[in-house]
Structures are given as structure tokens and as C-alpha cells.
Amino acid sequence: MVELSRNIIGIQGVRCETCSKLPYSTSRCERRTVARAVLQERLLLDNEQLRKVVVAWPPVIGLSFESNIAPSLAALQERLSLNDEQLRKVVVKLPSVLSLSFESNIC
């Protein structure tokens, strides 16, 4: 899914201004860019909604989509029986919900 997203949004090799000075950090910057793009794609967030999520909970930009965000979204959606629109509203209003351990904290 990440490879597909990279190709769709054209971010292969994208580096932020800070990372452009540090060649060894390219993969971290690219992973963060991909995670934001895939989150935006998965939840159908517009740019303003994505900004709200990142401003309200900055650690989201450092999370791996496959390891952290996708499982949290799936567990949240299944546990609360949310459709995609409802899931988007929950994440935009309370992005830190992505950091919850559903087995430990929600069950």
C-alpha cells in the first residue's frame, strides 16, 4: 500500500528542508511523508483536516502506517462499528486515539 501511495502522490525521494542537508536521514523524512500521505488517503482527509490531526497530535508524523496507524484504525473502526466517515470524524477530533492500545486500554 505504501509503494502504491508513493507512486500515486509522487513523493519518491522527497526530502524536507532540514533533511536535505543530511543525506543519511532521507529514509526517515520519506517515511514520515509517506505515513502522512497514506493516513490522508485512508481517511480521505482534506489538507485542512490533515493539518488539524498533525497540530493536535504531532507524534502521528513519526508513526509507521503499517505498524501503528493501520492497526489502530482497524481496531477502532471494528470495536466501535464505525463507517469510514465516522472514523474520519473521530480521528480529526481526537487524533491521539491512534496511540491507544486497544487490547490494554479499550477492551
CB burial of 47-74 (b: ≥16 within 10 Å; e: otherwise) equals: eebbebbeeebeebeebebeebbbebbe
How confident is the model over 64-94, as pLDDT tens digits? 888 889 999 999 999 999 999 999 999 999 9
Higher-confidence position of 52 and 9: 52
How confident is the model over 17-34, as pLDDT tens digits? 545 554 544 566 666 777
Residue 37 has what pLDDT?
A: 86
Burial class (CB in 10 A: 0-12, 13-18, 19+), 75: middle
